[in-house]
Amino acid sequence: MQKLCGWVGKILKIDLSHHQIESLDTMAYAEKFLGGLGIGHKLYWDHAAWGADAFDERQPLIFMTGPLAATPAPSAPRLSICGKSPCIYPETFVSASLGGFFAAELKKAGFDGIMVLGRSDGAVTIHIEDGNVEIREAAQLWGLGNLKTHEVLKNELGKNVRILSIGPGGENRTRYGIIFTDVAGAASMGFGSVMGSKNLKAITVKGSGSVAIADPVRIKEIRKRFSEMTGAGYYNLFGNPILLPGMQVIKKAHCHGCPQGCWRTVQQGPSGAQDIRKCQTNLFYTLWDRKLHGAITEASFSAATLANDYGLCVMDLVQLMLWLDRCFAAGLLSEKDIGLPMAQMGSPEFFEALLRTICSRKGFGSVLAEGAIRASENVGGEAREIIRNMFTQTGRAVAYGPKVFVLSALIYALEPRPFITELHEVCEPLTKWGRWYTKTDEKSYMSTDVIRGIGAAFWGGEKSVDFSTYEGKARASSLIQNRQYIKESLVLCDFAWPVYDDASTKQHVGDPGMEGKLLSAVTGWDIDEAGLNGFAERIIALNRAILLREGRRGRQDDILPEFFFIERDEFIADVFGMHNPQLLLPGAGDDVISRRGKAVDREQFEKLLDDYYGLRGWDGKTGYLKKETLVSLGLTECIEPLGDKAI
């Protein structure tokens, strides 16, 4: 039998209702869907309880690693979590991505993934150790915060156990409970609450095995090349954490197999307390902390630790607090309605009281536990209108949006999932270009010539980075989406991949073929960028099929929120806007244009959609899937269930 390289060959299927454990053959899925996000899609298609809600016990919750996890591939630690999300509005299939060590440990324990179905009668954990799997009673853990849960499990199972757990936010089925793991990793989309709905408090794993790789020498070379390309010490968007006043970095907190690390660092707050901080966790409470105290204090630092412990997503909490604050200021909700001392918003005490209220689901807590968009519907009237001007139609926050980057318009319109990873693909090289142009980074080599080279190599042509036109943007968006789906299927980290630019050469354009080279070296497959794009086309079509089957209305729902079409001068507070407030971008020839105050052009947006459907082989009029496309991608199983949405 041919040696299996990259994958370990088995995906666990665990039915908690009947305490049944079996395994599926990974390669029956990998040959068409690669791993991670791709296999997650196929497992969902095969096992979803269509029409049932996210907390229905029949719904699968899928945890997938990919072929690069637990290998020497640089920055490949992610766990792709797929299922129906209670958080997205309306509920639908999405995915979350989790860093840390769990994915690598799971493979070392002999499994490429886990699919959990059903609901246990009482609280349980799943323990996996070197091929053995047990469902264990866990009544003693129910009600504990994530930090205590990890402490208890580590005391019981040893310091080297890797854990996915939920806190009270997940146990009590708030819509935005997180799954918490090592190095303070947190998976959003309410998947912690889906675990809670299954009475699954934690999954623990210990593995002492290893993953076979086809060409260790080649991987070593690629790893060396990766370090040369990325390691010149110039500005790296994700390399240097934005530190709050009074806080300091103690050390980096790398995920498994990550050579360079990122914002994920152990930080110390003003009181000496230490915890791991990443991007948003550092910033999310600062607005209210500063408003109350006149400066950023320990409250901002402690808020992230509290949110992780209670097991609630900081992104969703920010949205909720922004909405609550505006409703209170407009007199739409009083302190009595809310049941919290709103004048104290910004203090640690207020924040903890808010978390307790949400997790208990008592009083107004039952409204807040539904998240901003559903809470606004519950309150109704003007409180609902406030939301319309803040978030996307599925309730997602806005950053790196299409008013600045035309490239982002399709990314916002086509998917209900949080598209921040795809948006990073757009904003990262352009933020570096902005810092080169505005001379705020003297070391930057990201000149207009380099950015054009990147456009040509990665995004389908130089026109993709001419921001005076919509030309070339549909192709660029589809390629960005392809690359993102592949990254999440291989389980590469968004902060480290792709390698757009190369610090070690004069030309400075990175290598769009790196991912294919890595996969070939690990698995022994012979695959290049075009081959990976073929996988992406199939996975993205399956994603579309799932969304259509769950009720998406094709082109009718491929829309942007109205505020993207309105011109107004506004400060864009994301990392790009922070460094480049006039929102300067490359135009045609030597021109530089400003996108400040600009909006998306409606006609051009519709044209982008036409072009995109054409590139994907989807029906232009309806945005439905064409049968011939499904057949050519090997997805004939989608045709019959889609009914008239496959044409």
Residues interacting with ligand SF4, by CB under 6 A?
75, 77, 99, 254-255, 258, 261-262, 264, 493, 495-496
Q: What are phi and psi of 15, to 5 degrees?
A: -105, 110
The least distance separating ligand SF4 from the CB of residue 345, rounded to whole angstroms, comes to 30
Taking the least distance from each CB to ligand SF4, the nearer of 69 and 166 is 69
How far out from the chain centre does Cα 336 lie?
36
Query: Quick one: which of 110, 121, 108, 170 has its CA closest to 143?
Result: 170
CB-side exposure of 561: number of CA atoms within 13 Å? 21
The least distance separating ligand SF4 from the CB of residue 260, rounded to whole angstroms, comes to 7
d(CA 202, CA 116): 12
Taking the least distance from each CB to ligand SF4, the nearer of 274 and 533 is 274
The least distance separating ligand SF4 from the CB of residue 437, rounded to whole angstroms, comes to 26
Residue 378 CA: distances (Å) to CA of 55, 249, 382, 384, 608: 20, 42, 11, 8, 36
| Strands of 565-627, DSSP E | 584-586, 592-594
The least distance separating ligand SF4 from the CB of residue 394, rounded to whole angstroms, comes to 25
The least distance separating ligand SF4 from the CB of residue 491, rounded to whole angstroms, comes to 10
Taking the least distance from each CB to ligand SF4, the nearer of 279 and 414 is 279
Taking the least distance from each CB to ligand SF4, the nearer of 261 and 513 is 261
Cis before residue 512, ω within 30 degrees of 0? Answer: no
The least distance separating ligand SF4 from the CB of residue 565, rounded to whole angstroms, comes to 35
CB distance 75 to 258 below 8 Å = yes
The least distance separating ligand SF4 from the CB of residue 227, rounded to whole angstroms, comes to 13
Taking the least distance from each CB to ligand SF4, the nearer of 21 and 266 is 266
Taking the least distance from each CB to ligand SF4, the nearer of 232 and 599 is 232
The least distance separating ligand SF4 from the CB of residue 76, rounded to whole angstroms, comes to 8
Amino acid at 43: L
Taking the least distance from each CB to ligand SF4, the nearer of 99 and 118 is 99
Amino acid at 24: L
Q: What string of DSSP letters covers 46-95?
A: HH--TTS-TT-TTS-EEEE--TTTTSS-TT---EEEEEEESSSSS-EEEE
61-64, strands of its sheet edge to edge = 20-25, 10-15, 113-117, 61-64, 79-85, 92-98
Taking the least distance from each CB to ligand SF4, the nearer of 211 and 493 is 493
The least distance separating ligand SF4 from the CB of residue 452, rounded to whole angstroms, comes to 27
Question: Per residue, what are the HEC states of 236-288?
Answer: CCCCCCCCCCCCEEEEECCCCCCCCCCCCEEEECCCCCEEEECHHHHHCCHHH
d(CA 534, CA 427): 25
Taking the least distance from each CB to ligand SF4, the nearer of 493 and 635 is 493
Taking the least distance from each CB to ligand SF4, the nearer of 263 and 412 is 263
The least distance separating ligand SF4 from the CB of residue 603, rounded to whole angstroms, comes to 39
d(CA 476, CA 410): 10
Residue 264 CA: distances (Å) to CA of 154, 253, 373, 495: 22, 6, 29, 10
